[in-house]
């Protein structure tokens, strides 16, 4: 079982979000998962320009590191999104990355995986960012098992207080993967999204036949 954390603070190893995420990964590792972390700021992530090039073949016109990151997400059974709160939202690094996932969302290439979210903030927006991060995971077809945000009040050591909760979240994620956890409410939402994207997959059938066939195989196109 593999769990991959994607971390969006530009502060790399000084990041409190990263420290908190590491606790989550340690909890998952104790439950038997193989874990890894991607620091987004170490990778080249070009901003989406809405050229719609990816809708022809799933390949972005920019040759950067996003395809390699998505490949690692595909290999994982569990995905953690982790971001500091910037002006009551995710960091710019995280948002640029999310915008590049539009094709992965439309074609549901990560469906069936499990995930959770992590955020830190000085004061505001932590819970809202967790809701948003989990929403993006659901958009990708990923079932979420919860999230954790910590308001540090400017004291980075405040994340240590949340160590046990973070480890429990990681253990919970690993447990969900092992047991094939299901959540009818999220599954209904994901099925609703798929129904919306189905029209696109059918419309693009002639130039994306493999994607179309995958949707038929998955039973998403009858």
Ligand X SMILES: Cc1cc2nc3c(=O)[nH]c(=O)nc-3n(C[C@H](O)[C@H](O)[C@H](O)COP(=O)(O)O)c2cc1C
**Of residues 86 and 98, the one with the C-beta less far from ligand X:** 86
Contacts of 58 (CB under 8 A, 6+ apart): 103, 107, 208, 211
Residue 119 pairs with which residues in a beta bridge? 83, 149
Q: Does residue 9 touch ligand X according to CB under 6 A?
A: yes
Q: Does residue 122 touch ligand X according to CB under 6 A?
A: yes
On whether the CB atoms of residues 29 and 35 are closer than 8 A, the answer is yes
Which among 82-90, 96-104, 174-182, 214-222 is the span making contact with ligand X, rule CB under 6 A?
A: 82-90
**Of residues 160 and 189, the one with the C-beta less far from ligand X:** 160
Q: Does residue 172 touch ligand X according to CB under 6 A?
A: no
On whether the CB atoms of residues 22 and 82 are closer than 8 A, the answer is no
Closest approach of ligand X to the CB of residue 4, in Å = 18
Q: Which of 113, 122, 119 is nearest to 131 (CA)?
A: 119
Q: Which of 54, 22, 26, 27 is nearest to 38 (CA)?
A: 22
Q: Does residue 2 touch ligand X according to CB under 6 A?
A: no
Which among 101-109, 121-129, 163-171, 184-192 is the span making contact with ligand X, rule CB under 6 A?
A: 121-129
Q: Does residue 214 touch ligand X according to CB under 6 A?
A: no
Q: Does residue 123 touch ligand X according to CB under 6 A?
A: yes
**Of residues 15 and 144, the one with the C-beta less far from ligand X:** 15
Which among 9-17, 42-50, 107-115, 189-197 is the span making contact with ligand X, rule CB under 6 A?
A: 9-17
Sheet of 143-151: strands edge to edge?
A: 34-39, 2-7, 78-84, 114-121, 143-151
* Spacing of C-alpha 170 from chain mean position: 14
Contacts (CB under 6 A) with ligand X, residues 136-155:
152
Q: Does residue 21 touch ligand X according to CB under 6 A?
A: no
């Amino acid at each position: 079982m593999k769990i991959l954390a994607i971390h969006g603070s530009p502060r790399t190893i000084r990041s409190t979000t990263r420290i908190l995420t590491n606790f989550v990964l340690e909890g998952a590792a104790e439950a038997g998962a193989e874990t890894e972390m991607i620091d987004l700021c170490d990778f080249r992530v070009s901003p989406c320009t809405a050229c719609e090039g990816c809708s022809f073949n799933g390949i972005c016109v920019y040759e950067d590191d996003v395809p390699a990151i998505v490949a690692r997400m595909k290999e994982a059974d569990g995905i953690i999104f982790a971001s500091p709160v910037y002006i009551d939202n995710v960091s710019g690094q995280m948002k640029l990355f999310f915008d590049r996932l539009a094709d992965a969302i439309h074609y549901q290439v990560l469906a069936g995986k499990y995930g959770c979210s992590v955020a830190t903030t000085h004061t505001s927006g932590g819970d809202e960012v967790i809701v948003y991060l989990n929403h993006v995971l659901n958009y990708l077809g990923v079932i979420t098992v919860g999230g954790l945000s910590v308001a540090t009040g400017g004291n980075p050591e405040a994340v240590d207080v949340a160590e046990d909760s973070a480890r429990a979240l990681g253990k919970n994620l690993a447990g969900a993967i092992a047991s094939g956890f299901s959540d009818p409410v999220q599954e209904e939402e994901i099925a609703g999204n798929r129904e919306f994207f189905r029209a696109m997959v059918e419309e693009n059938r002639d130039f994306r036949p493999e994607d179309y066939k995958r949707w038929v195989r998955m039973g998403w196109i009858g």
